[in-house]
Homo-oligomer: A and B are copies of this chain.
Amino acid sequence: MDFQYDSEQNDLREAVRGLLQRAYGDPEVRRRTVAADPGFDEKTWARLAEMGVLGLPFAEEDGGMGAGPIEVGIVAEEMGRVIAPEPFVESVVLAGGLVAAVGTAAQRQAVLGPLSEGATVLAFAHAEPGTRWSTTARGVTATEDGGTWRLTGVKEPVLHGARADVLVVSAAVDGGTALYLVRGDAEGLTRTGYPTHDGTRAANVTLAGTPAELLGELSGEGGGTAVADRSADVERAQALARIAYGNEAVGAMDTALTTTAEYLRTRKQFGVTLNRFQALTFRAADMYVSLELARSTALWASMVADAGGDVVAAADRARLQTSRAGRHIGKEAIQLHGGIGVTAEYSVGHYTSRLTAIDHVLGDGDWAADRLAARVDGYPTVDPLGAPYTRAD
């Protein structure tokens, strides 16, 4: 067991941090960037590609860097530190991750190569209005007609769905949930984008007989005639995205706490700086406790993914811990700032907004806790260094 980053990982962190500091070291730049479509900076996206960040988790033969979940976590944490609006988790980890996991070799190369190069943005169109955090599709159905798949139904909210060049769309088929590639300029595709509260973009994606390409091979006997159920792949890709979001949240919480501590050290009230008020400094100390516990859990979940352990269970743990910590730290960061904390002109409220968004994309803390609760009676104690989190090897 070893909790130390190696030198390559430290180099990666430094490089990404440097790039993002240059881009968003001034919070005003981020504010301006998210104010205009597409809600992020295409140049920064390109620079991330140049650095290899956008191909980080993909195999080299697919155009990627062949790195792993630890490296993904490092990037995500650094994104969170400046709440960079580029869709790293959404596009690379989640949508790209699905293509990498399910796609044929040709699909992987066709989609992941341009993604890694920064030439395209991917989005995973899976959420459906009126329900929540599922691994299956119900509201969009797929039918095959003369060798062409056509999708019909509504996906919303789809993060970065209006900007995306390629959409990975989940759809109900006989036998489960299948995944499809849909081009942004496909016929019968209507996308209505809008900003989310944290400056991200989301969209309503309406499909009306929209042509689509099945992601992955057909399965079944005789060379494959059946469409495979991909809900387990969705579960796993979402778990990896939850872990990445956990690391992103840690980065955001770290900055929120640092900003708050700095404010307490410098802001004067009643003739003294706020750090003379013990009730406030103790609350900052509690924020630190939440942060470090969340950091440990997010880091560990990345290591579980790296070790080939039960990534779904680990992601639930990370989700629960970072959800609780994110709410605690997000609320307290504003409260300890007082009035300025709720203004858009000051940075800390944007961190709270981003933490709130992360908390609702792929399952909140209560949701994760309920999944964990359903299993607690099945084992006596948890060993985070043992099964099912580490694979015997």
User: Which chain A residues have a beta carbon within 8 Å of chain B's beta carbons?
Assistant: 277-282
Residues of chain B contacted by A280 (CB below 8 angstroms): 278
Residues of chain B contacted by A278 (CB below 8 angstroms): 277-280
In angstroms, Cα B277 to Cα A282, docked, is 11
Query: For chain A, what secondary structure do more than half of its interface residues adopt (helix, strand, loop), or is it mixed?
Result: helix
Residues of chain B contacted by A281 (CB below 8 angstroms): 279
Q: How far is the CB of A293 from chain B (nearest CB, A)?
A: 21
7 residue pairs of the A-B complex, CB under 8 angstroms, read A277-B278, A278-B278, A278-B279, A278-B280, A279-B279, A279-B281, A279-B282
Residues of chain B contacted by A277 (CB below 8 angstroms): 278
Q: How far is the CB of A230 from chain B (nearest CB, A)?
A: 35
Q: 7 smallest A-B Cβ distances: which pairs? A: A278-B279, A279-B282, A278-B278, A279-B279, A277-B278, A279-B281, A278-B280
In angstroms, Cα B279 to Cα A278, docked, is 5
Residue of B at shortest CB range from A280?
B278
Q: How far is the CB of A102 from chain B (nearest CB, A)?
A: 40
Name the residue in A277, A280, A281, A282 with the highest tally of chain B Cβ atoms < 10 Å from its Cβ: A282
Residue of B at shortest CB range from A281?
B279
Q: How far is the CB of A338 from chain B (nearest CB, A)?
A: 16
In angstroms, Cα B282 to Cα A36, docked, is 44
In angstroms, Cα B277 to Cα A279, docked, is 8
In angstroms, Cα B278 to Cα A282, docked, is 10
Residue of B at shortest CB range from A285?
B279
In angstroms, Cα B279 to Cα A280, docked, is 8
Residues of chain B contacted by A279 (CB below 8 angstroms): 278-279, 281-282
In angstroms, Cα B282 to Cα A281, docked, is 12
In angstroms, Cα B280 to Cα A279, docked, is 8
Q: How far is the CB of A215 from chain B (nearest CB, A)?
A: 40
Residue of B at shortest CB range from A283?
B279
In angstroms, Cα B13 to Cα A340, docked, is 50
In angstroms, Cα B274 to Cα A234, docked, is 56
Residues of chain B contacted by A282 (CB below 8 angstroms): 279
Residue of B at shortest CB range from A276?
B278
Residue of B at shortest CB range from A277?
B278
Q: How far is the CB of A264 from chain B (nearest CB, A)?
A: 13
In angstroms, Cα B281 to Cα A278, docked, is 10
In angstroms, Cα B282 to Cα A171, docked, is 54
Q: How far is the CB of A286 from chain B (nearest CB, A)?
A: 10
Name the residue in A277, A279, A281 with the highest tally of chain B Cβ atoms < 10 Å from its Cβ: A279
In angstroms, Cα B278 to Cα A277, docked, is 7
Q: How far is the CB of A139 from chain B (nearest CB, A)?
A: 25
Q: How far is the CB of A288 from chain B (nearest CB, A)?
A: 15
Q: How far is the CB of A276 from chain B (nearest CB, A)?
A: 9
In angstroms, Cα B278 to Cα A281, docked, is 10
In angstroms, Cα B281 to Cα A282, docked, is 12
In angstroms, Cα B274 to Cα A278, docked, is 12
In angstroms, Cα B282 to Cα A136, docked, is 48
Q: How far is the CB of A176 from chain B (nearest CB, A)?
A: 32
